Amino acid sequence: MTWTTVCELDAIVPGTGVCALVGDAQIAIFRPHADDTVYAIANIDPFAEASVLSRGLICEHQGELWVASPLKKQRFRLRDGLCLENRDYSVASYAVRVSEGHIEVQN
Amino acid sequence: MAKTRLIVVGNGMVGQRFLEELCEKGNPAAFDITVFCAEPRVAYDRVHLSSYFSHHTDEDLSLVKPGFFEKYGISVLVGEAVKQLDTAQKLVHSNKGKTMAYDKLVMATGSSPWVPPIAGSAHHECYVYRTIEDLNAIEAAAKQGKSGVVIGGGLLGLEAAGALKALGLDTHVVEYAPVLMAEQLDRMGGEMLRRKINSLGVSVHTSRNTVNIAMHGGRTGLHRLNFADGSTLDTDVIVFSTGIRPQDTLARYSGLFVSERGGIVINDQCVTSNPDIYAIGECASWHGQYFGLVAPGYKMAQVAADHLLGRKELNFTGADMSAKLKLLGVSVGSIGDAHGRTPGSRNYIFQDDQAGIYKKIVVSPDGTKLIGAVLVGDVDDYGQLLQMKLNDLPVPEHPDTLILPSYAGAKPAMGVDALPASAVICSCFDVSKQRIADAVAAGCHTVAAIKAETGAGTGCGGCVPLIAQVLNAELAKQGIEVKNHLCEHFPHSRQELFHLVKVGGLKTFGEVIAKHGHGYGCEVCKPTVGSILATVHNDYILKPEHTPLQDTNDVFLGNMQKDGTYSVIPRMAGGEVTPEGLMAVAQVAKDFQLYTKITGAQRIGLFGAHKGDLPEIWRRLIDAGFETGQAYGKSLRMVKTCVGSTWCRFGVQDSVGLGVELEHRYKGIRTPHKMKFGVSGCTRECAEAQGKDVGIIASDAGWNLFVGGNGGVKPRHADLLASDLDHETLLRYLDRFLMFYASTADKLQRTATWLESLDGGIDYLREVIVDDKLGLGAQLEADMTEVRAKYECEWKATVEDTSQHARFAHFINSPVHDPNVAFVPAREQHRPASPAERRIIPIRPVETV
């Protein structure tokens, strides 16, 4: 397991996400606030099998943060990729950290 | 157990209702059901028969839910009639030579029009008004003629007259009695109706006894009606509507008891003189009386189905013949003893000749109970009066206050609490107050939910206000607060938030949620607030503080497709595009390998654009003179136009010119949902404007403005808001309408549902927009002017702001396109590959990190 630097923290507009290519995996990285809290889950929406989750809206339900797929609005928990609508469609999550202003993902 | 062989003779409104009652409430598996349907189509709505002329599809009128017969294994013999019934051997013989045995049989043969036996009346060119075939014949005849007459001024006759008028005929009504609708209305009510109908251009001739008809013997018209007083009337089309007679011929010949006045004799359980045979609807006679309305028939259907299912507690106990309807655009209501024939009864009358309103109530001799009413021109009181009568509620001290106009002071509120639980709220579907209360308790907390659950309010719709009252009373009783909160983060409706944002001058989501909500926000409230901020301020929606609020469509200014690519749709206002523009679009499509098609909105859509290519694609389109079409936004999409008077032989106004102007006037303004406009240059309506949120149709004198139309899931014809407007007034009303909608609609509510949710509907909207009853007009116009002034092409701003471009790359750390996007060839272009076709990138299983 190694840490891969993907981008600067400031490359992500607070409240949005971006998609990073790490190895051959598409990883969605979210920055919900203007601080250095970040989350990383798989970018592929498992319902449509399209690479879109980084483009979803970050939302709060049940006291936790999720991303709503921009295609059909199913929600995935940022901390572990759990799908709120159907846990069989949960996605992978990745360890992610901010180091000296850069975002690093473990894969 | 062997199945009961059940034969139903007749598939009209009542016959079909019987099948529904039996199958949906009982155990259809216990029956083997065969239905004989003599007409060439299964059950349809005869009550709304005239609407066939405006829509012309029998599907619209059909009463059979899709898949109903298949679902319950019912065999329907369409176009096949029973010609003989053998009650001894329990067999039926059909007109197509079929013989079938039954255990139980239901007669639902309905009625047939009765035509008086005068000379000429049997001629095949004398029409009646009962079936779709009749309507087709009348329409064909109307095409050849200029004038038409309906003989018979009853309820159905006036309905038929409305149809003739709608077919463009100079229409006359001839009535034997001195008043119209003599069954339902008193003399003064009938007179008011006659005046109103006359003023609508239909000539009414009362006290005329038609003695014979000279077919093809007219001078100014094809045929001539000769009356007893020596006068005549020439006309091209003749329709008889002189009453109905129960269709009991089959029963007569098979030995069932038939009433003297006609109709198969039934008891309180709808059983005929033969214990295995029921009769329901217009063909049945109960206590010597037959019923020409659908509500009693539906009640019989319910009683017979229950009895057949072994539940014997329900009885048919007669019917309330009260009715509320709209004839030729005039609302009419009649309740109980409308003529005040009860000895000693007291009348209270209100009449307004200016507005054409007549109302009368009849109160019992002791002044305690309402026993009848007549309403012409204004039937708002109908629901309340009917409930008073049906439930013997006490009449207020001054009964006349029940029918005085609202400006005379507050009406005494009856309050639904006063109604007993057994009170029938919806008489079309026999739904009681208790049944609605039960539905509310079971979780139906909207009128729509109650309609779906109980069927109440889905017939004539007259009881909907009462349903809403029962709903609110029940919710209050159960301690349930009616909430239309946006989501868990905002204890406000969209409308409330809109006003809070506007009045408070709030500019960001952060400010709004800090002040009026709590928490982080979600996929519901973020875009809603984003849309409100955009409507109120019309800021560039991709300012960093707004970006996190928008759905991906607004973030990347394109419609996301199923594979994560986007569509690119430049504005082609009014559907106009130059050859140079076409070439520029074509070159872009070719260079970026985009699938190309004309969209439903009269413009060209380019599909399959990679997110990363969007800025360059748009730079080139903007250089060629295009701007964004906002096809991704909840905003005005486009104005569909027909070619109008500039080219068309028939056009009376420049519809393209107006469409282009309107599209530019309102483009980019964010609204609660997307909007579509249409402008037609003449009444042929080639732009289908009446199916749009805003539809404008040219008239000889200006423009007619329609609002609230919709296609889509639930098509709705737009309502006429104002007619014959000049250009300036049209724009003023549009400014007001759009701003009023934007500030009061719920989230993602199209104008059609918004309009239906407004108390008072189109009449109320007209008061606000045209009469400026709320005094909002000037403010709404000023708001619109302010928002319009801030328009800029979002794509132009984005292309020019190069700091935005990095956002469009698919990967933050790589220049490559999304490798998960793949295309396969389709009809000389391409389409997205399905997941199965492109299993290149495996989806990783859940793993714990």
Q: Which residues of chain B have pLDDT under 50?
A: 841-849
Q: Which residues of chain A have pLDDT under 50?
A: none
**Tokens in use for B28?**
């259809």
* Token pair 């490359």: residue: A11
Which CATH code, of 3.10.450, 3.30.70, 2.60.40, 3.30.460, is assigned to B555-623? Answer: 3.30.70
Q: Are B113 and B126 in contact (CB under 8 A)?
A: no
Q: How far is B807 from chain A (nearest CA, A)?
A: 8
Give chain A positions within 8 Å (CB) of B843.
42, 44, 46, 49, 91
Q: Please give the CATH topology (third level) of the domain spanning B416-480.
A: Arc Repressor Mutant, subunit A (1.10.10)
pLDDT at B549: 86
CB contact B836 to A (< 8 Å): no
Which residue(s) pair with B226 in the sheet?
Answer: B212, B232
Question: Is B807 close to A57, i.e. CB distance below 8 A?
Answer: no
Mean pLDDT of chain A: 92
Q: Which CATH class is domain B636-789?
A: alpha beta
pLDDT at B847: 34
Distances (CA, A) of B234 to B145, B148, B200, B431, B692: 12, 9, 20, 48, 42
SS (H, E, C) B379-415: CCCHHHHHHHHHCCCECCCCHHHHCCCHHHCCCCCCC
pLDDT at B304: 94
pLDDT at B411: 58
Give chain A positions within 8 Å (CB) of B521.
59-60
With pLDDT > 90 as the criterion, what percentage of chain B qualifies? 47
Domains defined along chain A, listed by start? 13-96 (2.102.10.10)
If you count residue pairs, one on A and one on B, with CB atoms under 8 Å apart, how many are there? 117
Question: Is A19 close to B552, i.e. CB distance below 8 A?
Answer: no
Which residue(s) pair with B285 in the sheet?
Answer: B265
Closest to A17 (Cα-Cα) out of A34, A39, A1: A39
Contacts of residue B386, Cβ cutoff 8 Å, sequence gap at least 6: B322, B335, B427
> Which CATH code for domain B126-242?
3.50.50.60
> Which CATH code for domain B4-111+246-308?
3.50.50.60
Which residue(s) pair with B431 in the sheet?
Answer: B426
pLDDT at B842: 45
Q: How many CA atoms lie within 13 A of B385 on its CB side?
A: 31
Q: Which of B519, B551, B807 sits opposite A57 (nearest CB)?
A: B551
The answer to whether the B416-480 and B636-789 domains have the same CATH topology is no
B72 exposure class (CB count in 10 Å sphere: 0-12, 13-18, 19+):
middle
Question: Is A50 close to B562, i.e. CB distance below 8 A?
Answer: yes
CB contact A58 to B (< 8 Å): yes
The DSSP 8-state label assigned to residue B200 in this structure reads T
pLDDT at B485: 78
Q: Which B residues 310-329 touch A at CB under 8 Å?
A: none
Q: Which of B520, B553, B844 sits opposite A60 (nearest CB)?
A: B520
- Each residue's pLDDT tens digit, B394-416: 888 888 888 887 777 655 555 67
Domain ranges of chain B: 4-111+246-308, 126-242, 320-414, 416-480, 494-550, 555-623, 636-789
Q: What is the ipTM of this complex?
A: 0.91
pLDDT at B225: 94
Q: Which CATH class is domain B320-414?
A: alpha beta
